[in-house]
Chain A
Amino acid sequence: MSVALKKEAVVCENLRIATDIYSMWIKEPEMASTAKPGQFISMYCSDGSRLLPRPISICEINKKQGALRLVYRIAGKGTEEFSMLQASDRITVMGPLGNGFTLEGKKALLIGGGIGIPPMLELAKQLSCEKQIVLGYRDVTFLDKEFETYGSVYISTEDGSKGTKGNVLDAIRTNGLHADIIYACGPTPMLKGIKGYAAEQGIKAQLSLEERMACGIGACLGCVCKSKEVDHHSNVNNKRICKDGPVFYAEEVEL
């Protein structure tokens, strides 16, 4: 894997696409040239009192333009600062970080929940197999139209305002979806459910995890998850989400 770079990137556009959800394109040709779906970048605040970078998943990669798209939710002061950025502003970023998804399978289920939806878009673009895309929202939907280009899209909303009322697994069952590989990113309870579903169906699953991070490169051991095997680095069943992940095979990790 290539070394992650820390660089100043130029903001190309930064648009609000739903309540508290923003879509930002940044130009950084070197990062764009090596980035893979499922990887993330660390974004730095310009306010020095906010020390730690914010890990944000890569939503789209445009190698030709040398640009990356980041779709993020305002979760605190740091992401709020990012939402104020405008075209031609500069932002310090480090990346691409983590391992990304492994492209495989003949018939895939792509499952995104909430702010876990964005990384599935580049994956949907790059996967050449048959794709069923399941997107889970609390209420207001975003990015769903863009996914329609790459496969059949199924939606679940917790309030039932669109698609199946309930969660992504309810949408999968209601629509009778089947696959030989699952790719998923979303909140831990959702991933836990998918892990159980994949085991029950005997389907391989790649899950993208998240945790509070500091360094983003595997040194601080802040963002670990319980792993099934004693792994080479830690010797104690703790994989690093930033470095060994964020994407893991479901059977590798305990959720």
Chain B
Amino acid sequence: MNTSVTIAGIEFKNPVTTASGTFGSGMEYSEYVDLSKLGAVTTKGVSSVPWPGNPTPRVAETYGGMLNAIGLQNPGVDVFIKRDIPFLRKYDTKIIVNVVGKTTEEYCEVVERLSDCDVDLLEINISCPNVKEGGIAFGQDPKCVEAITHELKKRAKQPIIMKLSPNVTDITETAKAAQAGGADALSLINTLTGMKIDIHRRSFLLANRTGGLSGPAVKPIAVRMVYQVANAVKLPIIGMGGIANAEDALEFIMAGASMIAVGTANFVNPTATTQIVEGIEAYMKKYQVEDINELIGCVK
């Protein structure tokens, strides 16, 4: 039985990774999960200098999901290189580093700093709804997506994955733009912009007013977008958005994702990732699937 998948020439032992921002750099979850059992660990977004993020409250629960407005708090690329890469390299798993910036130059700076580092792929976050500059502003305009992809592709030694925003009218437009810019793969979806109001205090619940919606509530939207993009571009897709168990993961794979990422589910169940790896294997045994690649995009 083969559970390995290949993206941009890199082989992953299985199609399960973590969604950026929900797993740190793996340290906190390494007490619950053997990181070597995951296809890859995708780290929290890293910027050129440390970012403090947004004021609290930063998280709020919604029906079947949650809103977050962390604002990409991170210790900066220097600390990341010194502390987090050596930590992750102790495990037999691939490392996908999520890259954030406020300007094209900042994204380029981080990519250049990481190009000589021992990491496997770079995921470019051009779709965070919680930062004013960079983030979502890049991710909604196909011209910007193509331009930044092109700039980063020139500088990166590792394959680059563009992480797309669902907060657009037609996600296939930005997907095609990333492909035109030279992207090696796509991640989708990032969170959907949402809001919660505290009716007792008559105020916004999050200090940032709006936040990114994630969790099971967004899953059908994410599956639909993965399906649309898989049929519009040739690039491999890492699918994510509300995946909580193996059944959810298989939906994304059948819609066209070569890999899947587990996000909010980690907060609810710290061992969600490895349970999904086991659940996919159990499914393959049950239906006598010899190779997981047979399932990728099998629903047409």
**Residues on A close to B: CB < 8 A?**
3-4, 6, 44, 48-53, 78, 94, 211-225, 233-238, 243
A selection of 6 A-B contacts at a CB cut-off of 8 Å is: A6-B271, A52-B61, A219-B28, A221-B53, A223-B59, A236-B52
Check if B56 sits within 8 Å of A224, measured CB to CB: yes
Q: Are A214 and B68 in contact (CB under 8 A)?
A: yes
Contact B79 A214 (CB under 8 A): no
Q: Nearest Cβ distance between residue A189 and chain B, in whole angstroms?
A: 14
**B22, CB-defined interface residue at 8 Å:** yes
Q: Are A51 and B64 in contact, with the CB atoms below 8 A?
A: yes
Across-interface contacts of B52 in A (CB, < 8 A): 236-238
- A223 adjacent to B75 (CB under 8 Å): no
The answer to whether B23 has its CB under 8 Å from any CB of chain A is: yes
Q: Are A51 and B215 in contact (CB under 8 A)?
A: yes
Q: Is the beta-carbon distance between B56 and A211 smaller than 8 angstroms?
A: yes
Q: Which B residues lie at the A interface, using CB under 8 A?
A: 21-24, 28-29, 31-32, 44, 50-53, 56-61, 63-66, 68, 70, 73-76, 79, 215-216, 264, 266-271
List chain A residues, Cβ under 8 A from B216: 48, 51
CB neighbours (8 Å) of B264 from chain A are 51, 214
Check A243 against B64 for contact (C-beta < 8 Å).
no
Inter-chain contact total with CB atoms closer than 8 Å: 106
What residues of chain B lie closer than 8 Å to A3, measured between beta carbons?
A: 31-32
Decide: B50 and A48 in contact? CB cutoff 8 A. no
Using known A-B contacts A212-B57, A214-B59, A238-B73, determine if residue A51 contacts B266 with beta carbons closer than 8 Å: no
Q: Which residues of A contact B24 (CB under 8 A)?
A: 218-219
Contact, CB under 8 Å: B66 / A215: no
Given contacts A51-B216, A51-B268, A52-B267, contact A220 B57 (CB under 8 A): no
* Residues of chain B within 8 A of A218, CB atoms compared: 24, 28
Query: When the two chains form their complex, are residues B59 and A222 in contact, meaning their CB atoms are under 8 A apart?
Result: yes
Chain B contacts for A217, CB-based, 8 A: 28-29, 31, 270
- Nearest chain A CB to B89 CB, angstrom units: 19
The reply to whether A51 and B65 contact each other, CB–CB distance below 8 Å, is yes
With beta carbons under 8 angstroms apart, the residue of B56, B79, B269, B270 that contacts A225 is B56
What chain A residues lie within 8 Å of B74 (beta carbons)? 236
User: A234 touching B23 by the CB < 8 A rule?
Assistant: no
Can you add 5 more A-B contacts, CB < 8 Å, to A44-B268, A51-B66, A220-B267? A214-B68, A217-B28, A217-B270, A221-B73, A235-B76
